[in-house]
């Protein structure tokens, strides 16, 4: 009898339960995590008669994306049925490879403030610009600025003290940045001011000014990606975590259930009418392990994370919505896959 037949005969035709648990779960205990590393080599379990090689049809059946919450610039969704390298590739693309527009060149005309020119330029570069980068081209090195690859903003602020003692323009804010369009760009964005390029937030402080101090600069925005500089990164955060899976032994009832429920700072547990405790809100679990600190409950509560179930969070800086950012990241990911496929086909031929 083959190893595979022996394995299936011992498990009634199913893969070994411990093996399946090791392959699909990360266990969290008081000392630390168990089995944190995934196994992606297709022949890892061949000697045990278990085939974990990639299957396209199985992937199509199991893969899904479900939106959990969505605001224009905040998106939380679950991605089910992929390995960690795929999820991490999308996260890295979101951070470093989806292009945006940001201030790259700052020409100082007048700066009598206390902030040095280079610090002022750096602060201006980090202001998120509300404009669709897909309308622009990447600027080529050593080429003249054109309407197709550059936006120009002017910043001119003078702090004054009025006769009644009121100080005007004591703080230079992002709202003081004024777009200076060319004729082509005026046609591109129309006459509605809300459609014009502008800082995403009007109240971002640039610097403090004292009466008599002035700043006057011209800013040139270029299209680029976060891999070049973080100011071009389109996200405040792009992160994921594995879905928690919490199992409580049925023997935990009554007063013990109430004690266990009170130990959780995230209020994950609820108690049924029968007195049985269960994890009603597993998404809120942070794996703080307070529920298993007590030696009495450590063997009764099983904390795990599902290895192929990711909770993704995307917070946009404002150039594009979080949904659009994820769609752009998927397009870039597909392009990378196509490049690899083309290269492999050339090698095989």
pLDDT of the chain, 349 residues: tens digit per residue: 444 444 443 444 445 667 777 888 999 999 888 888 877 777 777 777 777 788 888 889 999 999 999 999 999 999 999 989 999 999 999 999 999 999 999 999 999 999 999 999 999 999 999 999 999 999 998 889 999 999 999 999 999 999 998 999 999 999 999 999 987 888 888 888 888 999 999 999 999 999 999 999 999 999 999 999 999 999 999 999 999 999 999 999 999 999 999 999 999 999 998 889 999 999 999 999 999 999 999 999 999 999 999 999 999 999 999 999 999 999 999 999 999 999 999 988 7
Q: Is residue 6 assigned to a domain?
A: no
pLDDT of residue 16: 62
Per-residue buried b or exposed e for 11-42, using 16+ beta carbons within 10 Å of the residue's own CB? eeeebbeebeebbbbbbbeeeeeeeeeeeeee
Q: Is residue 263 assigned to a domain?
A: yes
pLDDT of residue 2: 43
Q: Are residues 257 and 159 in the same domain?
A: no
pLDDT of residue 287: 93
pLDDT of residue 314: 97
CATH number at residue 307: 3.30.1360.10
Q: Are residues 155 and 169 in the same domain?
A: yes
Q: Are residues 286 and 242 in the same domain?
A: yes
Q: Is residue 257 assigned to a domain?
A: yes
Q: Find out whether 199 and 129 touch, Cβ atoms under 8 Å.
A: yes
Q: Find out whether 180 and 153 touch, Cβ atoms under 8 Å.
A: yes
Return the closest-CA partner of residue 219 out of 319, 318, 120.
Answer: 120
Q: Is residue 10 assigned to a domain?
A: no
Whether the CA torsion 197, 202, 205, 210 is positive or negative: it is positive
Q: Which of 185, 201, 228 is the last residue of a domain?
A: 228
Q: Which of 194, 213, 228 is the last residue of a domain?
A: 228
Q: Find out whether 288 and 266 touch, Cβ atoms under 8 Å.
A: yes
- Compute the distance between CA of residue 195 and CA of residue 341 in angstroms, rounded to an integer: 40
Q: Are residues 191 and 306 in the same domain?
A: no
Range of the domain at 284: 16-40+55-98+234-348
Q: Are residues 156 and 264 in the same domain?
A: no
Q: Which of 172, 198, 228 is the last residue of a domain?
A: 228
Contacts with 265 (C-beta within 8 Å, 6 or more apart), sequence order: 288, 290
Domain count, the chain: 2
> CA torsion 296→301→302→303, rounded to 10°?
-100
Q: Is residue 188 assigned to a domain?
A: yes
Q: Is residue 32 assigned to a domain?
A: yes
Q: Are residues 107 and 209 in the same domain?
A: yes
Q: Are residues 155 and 261 in the same domain?
A: no
Q: Find out whether 260 and 252 touch, Cβ atoms under 8 Å.
A: yes
Q: Is residue 11 assigned to a domain?
A: no
Q: Are residues 191 and 128 in the same domain?
A: yes
Q: Find out whether 238 and 329 touch, Cβ atoms under 8 Å.
A: no
pLDDT of residue 128: 96
pLDDT of residue 194: 85
pTM for the model: 0.86
CATH number at residue 158: 2.170.120.12
Q: Are residues 116 and 220 in the same domain?
A: yes
Q: Give 28-33 contacts, CB < 8 A, sequence gap 24+.
A: 28/287, 28/289, 28/303, 28/304, 28/305, 29/289, 29/292, 29/298, 29/303, 30/289, 30/292, 30/293, 30/298
Q: Are residues 285 and 324 in the same domain?
A: yes
User: Residue 67: beta bridge partners?
Assistant: 77
Q: Is residue 165 assigned to a domain?
A: yes
pLDDT of residue 34: 86
Q: Are residues 71 and 122 in the same domain?
A: no
């Amino acid at each position: 009898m083959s190893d595979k037949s022996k394995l299936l005969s011992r498990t009634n035709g199913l893969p070994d339960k411990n093996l399946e648990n090791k392959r699909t779960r990360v266990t969290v205990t008081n000392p630390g995590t168990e089995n944190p590393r995934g196994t992606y080599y297709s022949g890892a379990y061949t000697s045990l008669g278990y085939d974990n090689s990639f299957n396209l049809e199985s992937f199509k059946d199991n893969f899904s994306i479900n939106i959990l919450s969505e605001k224009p610039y905040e998106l939380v969704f679950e991605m089910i049925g992929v390995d960690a390298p795929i999820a991490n590739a999308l996260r890295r693309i979101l951070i470093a490879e989806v292009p945006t527009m940001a201030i790259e060149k700052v020409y100082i005309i007048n700066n009598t403030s206390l902030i040095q020119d280079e610090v002022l330029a750096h602060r201006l570069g980090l202001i998120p610009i509300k404009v669709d980068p897909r309308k622009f081209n990447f600027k080529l090195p050593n080429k003249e600025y054109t309407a197709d690859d550059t936006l120009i903003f002017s910043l001119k602020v003078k702090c004054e003290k009025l006769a009644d003692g009121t100080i005007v323009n004591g703080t230079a804010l992002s709202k003081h940045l004024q777009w200076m369009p060319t004729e082509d760009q005026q046609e591109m964005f129309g006459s509605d001011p809300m459609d014009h390029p502008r800082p995403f937030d009007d109240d971002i402080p640039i610097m403090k000014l004292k009466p008599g101090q002035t700043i006057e600069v011209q800013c040139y925005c270029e299209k680029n990606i976060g891999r070049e500089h973080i100011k071009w990164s389109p996200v405040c955060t792009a992160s994921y975590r594995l879905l928690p899976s919490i199992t409580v032994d049925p023997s935990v009832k009554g007063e013990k259930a109430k004690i266990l429920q009170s130990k959780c700072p995230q209020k994950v547990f609820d108690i049924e009418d029968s007195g049985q405790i269960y994890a009603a809100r597993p998404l809120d679990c942070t794996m703080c392990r307070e529920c298993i600190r007590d030696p009495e409950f450590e063997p009764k509560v099983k904390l795990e994370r599902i290895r192929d179930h990711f909770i993704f969070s995307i917070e946009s800086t404002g150039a594009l919505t979080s949904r659009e950012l994820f769609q752009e990241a998927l397009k870039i990911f597909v392009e990378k896959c196509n490049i690899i496929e083309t290269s492999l086909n050339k090698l095989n031929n």
